[in-house]
Amino acid sequence: MTEEVLRAERIYKRFGGVIALDDVSLSIHKGEICCLVGENGSGKSTLIKIISGVYTPDEGDIYINGHHYKKLTPIEAIREGIQVIYQDFSLFPNLTVAENIAVNEQLAAGKKLVNWKEIFSIAEEGLRKVNVSLPLDAIVGTLTTADRQLIAIIKAILAEARIIIMDEPTTALTRKEIDALFRVIHDLKSQGISTLFVSHKLNEVVEIADRTVIFRNGKKVMDQDAKGVDIKTMEYYMTGREIDSTQIVLPEIEEAETPLLKVEHLTLKGVFSDISFELMPKEILGITGLLGSGRTELALSLFGELLIDEGKIFVEGKEVKIKRIGDALKHGIAYVPDDRVNQGLFLPQSIGDNLVATIIDRLTAAFGFVNRRQSGITQTQWINQLEIKTPSKDLAVESLSGGNQQRVVLAKWLASQPKILILNGPTVGVDVGSKAEIHQLIREIASQGIGVLLISDDLPELIQTCHRILLMRNGRIVEEFQRTDLSEEKLNKALIAET
């Protein structure tokens, strides 16, 4: 066995009356790719913050490079070679690639004058270390998510990282970008740098892991060599139950003379063109495509956030003009964005207030006052109906897990009684147990007669949830698949096919 670089031993952490970590131990060896998985609230983030010095454990010991710590500070963790790459990457978007890469070294050296030759030399060395090429004078805010992630990795390596912790690193990446990231991780492994890879995407865990560790309810329930650990095994250990996708039954599409939604030759110049399709009552229609295919912009056009240049939209057989979001709402079209944190919720506000945000006008009595009694009844109704797990509707919605936050977003729009529900990445960042529950919820929503347009690049999600799937490439619909004649392999091959 290779050299052990980190060991957290018998860690306990409590927050008030809640036990976040209960007698958890974890070791990481030199050059190892250790994948840490678990549902939201399982304790993954708490452990990351303990081994990076953000939290202090109530009990337990931490050993890094042979040094023993009872209490670890962030600066001590950095000096020991622990680097955490969070989802925001902690970069300066208004600075160049070179400046972002070199800034830490320049600050640490106490430099007061800018030596551009030195800055570019440091940046070039960093790029060589991960064997990638980026324009050093490009402004970071203009780069793709994948390129920004590479810059964060380079910064970690230049800080002499021995362990790089990656928190949900592939959430916003295309398949090609994920492949590139995995090549970098394997290159780090060859250099003796360890990776703690935290992810909800179990297919990626199977692909990248040397060792798989699973947490459930603050306890470590599995820790073993990744060989032979399949997705079904991980799902069972994460949730404590079998998740059987073979018994899925989709609602029977309602026969109707007129489609619920019909679009003809929709075009948004430079983004998508000549888009035509129909959506029937009770149908779940999937739309997929790589980032940049136009799929999200199509959804935003149907919701009135983007204005189409050409084409027609029909709702229940009648042509409608959608020039703003209010027009879409008037015609019964609701949209759940993929970024629930920044676009779907008012995070500091209560769960209850978020639930009634789309229907506040209906709950407003004379003189502009909200009918608090009716509002409370409505809030409780949706909490019960969508089984949102919370001790109180008065808590801030940011206190909920990702899966429950997504339920709040769904409930908020269902309260508006839509005819057509557009879901963009409905389970992004949601754990496997909550994901299965949300998929079932989507099927139940469709069974009530609502037409669902589901936009996703999660192939198992599309196959398990949709009646049909439309594939977009370069702003056009290039292929249609029926669920009954489709496999994940076939869909993936079509998705990544050359244009």
Q: In DSSP terms, which residues pair with 420 in a beta bridge?
A: 333, 451
How many residues belong to the chain?
499
Determine the angle formed by the axes of helices 372-385 and 402-414, rounding to 10 degrees.
120
Sheet strands side by side (includes 67-69): 18-29, 4-15, 59-64, 67-69
Contact (Cβ atoms closer than 8 angstroms) between residue 479 and residue 494: yes
Residue 356 to residue 363: CA distance in whole angstroms: 8
The third-level CATH classification (topology) of the domain covering 247-495 is Rossmann fold (3.40.50)
| 269 has pLDDT over 90 | yes
Determine the angle formed by the axes of helices 97-108 and 145-158, rounding to 10 degrees.
20
Q: Which of 27, 21, 424, 421 is nearest to 213 (CA)?
A: 27
Q: Is domain 4-242 given the CATH code 3.30.460.10 in the classification? A: no
pLDDT of residue 101: 92
Local structure of residue 307 (DSSP, 8 states): -
pLDDT of residue 498: 54
Q: What angle do CA 470, 471, 473 make, to 5 degrees?
A: 145
pLDDT of residue 190: 94
Range name among 51-60, 106-115, 137-146 with the lowest pLDDT average: 106-115
When pLDDT is cut at 50, 70 and 90, the band that residue 499 belongs to is very low
Calculate mean pLDDT across residues 477-494.
Answer: 86
Tokens 């809030």 identify what position? 379
Calculate mean pLDDT across residues 472-493.
Answer: 88
| 37 has pLDDT over 60 | yes
**Which ranges constitute the DSSP H helices of 290-349?**
295-302, 325-330
| 331 has pLDDT over 80 | yes
**High-pLDDT (> 90) share of the chain, %:** 55
Calculate mean pLDDT across residues 229-246.
Answer: 81
| 72 has pLDDT over 70 | yes
Residue 477 backbone dihedrals phi, psi, to 5 degrees: -80, 120
**Chain CA centroid to CA 275, Å:** 27
Helices (H) and strands (E) in the chain, counts: 16, 20
Sign of CA dihedral 138, 141, 147, 148: positive
Strand locations in 39-150 (E): 59-64, 67-69, 82-85
**Do 4-242 and 247-495 come out as alike in CATH topology?**
yes
CB neighbours (10 Å) of residue 285?
22
Residue 499 token pair: 């244009």
pLDDT of residue 398: 87
Residue 258 to residue 331: CA distance in whole angstroms: 16
Residue 258 token pair: 């007129």
3-state helix, strand, coil split of the chain in percent (to 5) is: 35, 25, 35
pLDDT of residue 390: 87
**332 Cβ neighbours under 8 A, 6+ residues apart:** 315, 417, 418, 419, 420
Residue 359 to residue 363: CA distance in whole angstroms: 7
Residue 198 token pair: 């935290």
pLDDT tens per residue across span 184-237: 999 999 999 999 999 888 889 999 999 999 999 899 999 999 998 998 899 889
**For the chain, what are the domain ranges?**
4-242, 247-495
pLDDT tens per residue across span 357-411: 888 888 886 667 778 888 888 999 989 988 888 889 999 988 887 778 888 988 8
Amino acid code (one letter) for 359 = I
**High-pLDDT (> 70) share of the chain, %:** 97
When pLDDT is cut at 50, 70 and 90, the band that residue 244 belongs to is low
Residue 138 to residue 93: CA distance in whole angstroms: 10
pLDDT, mean over the chain: 89
Local structure of residue 96 (DSSP, 8 states): B
Calculate mean pLDDT across residues 323-340.
Answer: 91
